Structure 1
Amino acid sequence: MSGQAVQPPILDHFVILVSHKDLLGLSNHIGDQFILAPGGNHAGGFTTNKLILLADGSYLEFIAFFDDVDPDIRRNHRWGNEKEGTIIDWAFTLPSESDFAAVQQRLKTADTGVSYTDPIPGGRTKPDGTILKWAICIPNDAQGDAAPPGSIPFWCLDRTPRARRVPYQVEPHLTQHPSGVLGVSSVSVQVPGEASKLKPVYDAIFGGAWNYEVPSGSTTGKHAVSLSSGEGAIKLVSKGSKSGQVELLPGLFLEIESF
């Protein structure tokens, strides 16, 4: 890294795959614990979403494929074969898309075999007609194939103001959840096989200790990432005004630590 300061990754969001039916009924399931923010339809017309915005500026995204999507299109989608009702992926962001080249260079220098794609345009139209634009960068393995979703974070880099995509400051009432959840304290990633093989990749992503920042700049919480061998799952511990546990979906629980 030649002694240069490394821009820490900024936690952006977590992706939770659900059926379209469950997405439409989500407020009935978690409405007593969380305030849902309207998402919208993604470019391409295959998926739609709803969000839980958190006061630290990160968010949970519930995403669903429309029922009439061509099965082949879904099968070839990055998330099309993942298990519904689980956290399937997660993303970092940076202040500017131009900052991402340094992440790519660190991975190249580390010679891990893993690389990130150059930014791929994406977007979504909000219910009020607002068009959002961003670019995503997906991790590829040594063979040039997309790495399994969730094993390595992807990146979401805004091309329209992030405040339009994540209006946690513009509409703070959307972050005042009855559950008391305020943000994400820590993230643990379980991967099948030997987690040690991915350690150099994570070292390169972070450029040092495995700590992230949050969009709000809050320093409350551990803001740490851990990696282990296991069944293949992403688990997060949230920070809140009270400790406990809340159910996001049947069988999917969110731990809360009070700070």
Structure 2
Amino acid sequence: MPEYPSHLPLFPTYQSQSRQPLRSTTMPGPTPQLDHIIIHLPLEQLDSPPKWLTDAFTISPGGTHGDGKTTNKLIVFADGTYIELLAFTSPAARVDHWWGDKGYGIVDYAFTLPAAGPGVAGADAGAQGYEHIRTRLDAAQPALAAVGRAGLLPSALRSGSRAKPDGDRIEWHVAFPLPECRGRAPFWCFDVTPRERRVPVDKAATTHPSGALAVGSLSVFVADEGGEERAALLQVLDASVPFDAGPDGVEVRLDESTWELATPRKIESHVPCQLFVVGAREGSGEMAALRDRGRGLAARLTLFTGPGAGERGRIQERVGEEGDEVFIGFTANM
């Protein structure tokens, strides 16, 4: 299992410059996209975001989810992805909620599939594409069940919604892993109402003090020494991001632990977002989060910055007294 590099930067090296992607002999499938990444905050920090967030990002209004249990704000990037800053509306709201037992920090991440077009609801296109992915996920079920990890697979689509501060109600469909596996594998999100109502990608929202332009990479850590958890996650990701998902059937798995992900909006001369599966080091914060605190997800995020952004140090902040550290690195668009 590859270990996280001990030298700076604290994020894996991009693979696309060193290996020419292969072409698949199978028919190309839908192109999975990174949709968003969730950072769980205490309610008081969502209401009044801390300086480590406001110094780096423009924070946009979000709203309250349909069940009234969670509320959010958004950090939107020009590539159409976003960070969801999420908080529970009360301690009681955490009871029996799928993120209720999660600590503060990065707790989950979502994939999506392309919408039908600008201004068009993407639910039909997403649901149809998801059936292609679902077939592959179902094929992985027996092997995952044999090692007790079938819960990593997403369940059937369910409805979700959010009321924005201006009264607009937006809707989507989501498919989650089982509650005990939430965060250990991605969930899926497909818009019913047009995506631009959920993710307002305008200049005001996507212009950040840090110069952040797009998600460069998401590093997901695994802790098991025997490798079963890692092997199971790789199976889920292989089914979720098919080798033939890229344009013209270009392979998007760069090596055994690295995938390229599309994003909802394309930025000219933009290096694709990459997803890494990384072994947590003994004594690291990620190992403590996964093994000692029983977190579902330990992850680090790299953001690309635009021209003229200059050098910027990484964010490394613990969220709350008992939360996990949030690592966000910044690098020039390659």
Q: TM over 0.5, yes or no? A: yes
Structure number, greater radius of gyration: 2
Distance (Å, rounded) in 1 between the aligned partners of 2:183 and 2:299: 7
Pick which of 180-189 and 93-102 moved more. 93-102
Q: Tell me, which stretches of 5 or more residues in structure 2 are unaligned?
A: 1-23, 115-125, 145-149, 244-252, 254-258, 281-286, 291-297, 319-324
Does residue 185 in structure 1 map to residue 216 in structure 2? yes
Cα 1:247–1:25 shift into 2, 3 Å: farther
Equivalent in the alignment of 1:17: 40
Does residue 87 in structure 1 map to residue 106 in structure 2? yes
> Does the CA-based 8 Å contact 1:55-1:216 persist in structure 2?
yes
Does residue 216 in structure 1 map to residue 265 in structure 2? yes
Q: Which has a greater percent of strand?
A: 1
Distance (Å, rounded) in 2 between the aligned partners of 1:245 and 1:221: 21
Distance (Å, rounded) in 2 between the aligned partners of 1:104 and 1:2: 20
Q: Tell me, which stretches of 5 or more residues in structure 1 are unaligned?
A: 141-145
Matched ranges for 1:116-131 at <5 A: 116-131=154-169
Matched ranges for 1:1-259 at <5 A: 3-26=26-49, 29-67=52-90, 69-70=91-92, 73-84=93-104, 86-95=105-114, 96-111=126-141, 112-113=143-144, 114=150, 115-140=153-178, 146-168=179-201, 171-193=202-224, 194=227, 195-208=230-243, 209=253, 210-218=259-267, 220-230=270-280, 231=287, 232=290, 233-241=298-306, 242-247=310-315, 249-250=317-318, 251-259=325-333
Equivalent in the alignment of 1:143: none
Distance (Å, rounded) in 2 between the aligned partners of 1:28 and 1:237: 19
Deviations 1:113-147 (A, max 9, x none): 3332111100000000000000110124xxxxx35
SS where residue 244 of structure 1 aligns? coil
Letter in 1 for 2:279: S
Query: What is the alpha-carbon root mean square deviation over aligned residues?
Result: 2.0
CA drift of 1:220 comes to 1.3
Deviations 1:232-252 (A, max 9, x none): 411111111344334375442
> Does the CA-based 8 Å contact 2:261-2:272 persist in structure 1?
no
Distance (Å, rounded) in 2 between the aligned partners of 1:130 and 1:66: 20
> Does the CA-based 8 Å contact 1:8-1:211 persist in structure 2?
no
SS where residue 245 of structure 1 aligns? coil
CA drift of 1:228 comes to 2.5
CA drift of 1:63 comes to 0.4
Distance (Å, rounded) in 1 between the aligned partners of 2:273 and 2:94: 34
Distance (Å, rounded) in 1 between the aligned partners of 2:89 and 2:302: 30
Aligned length: 248
Distance (Å, rounded) in 1 between the aligned partners of 2:311 and 2:136: 38
Percent sequence identity is 33
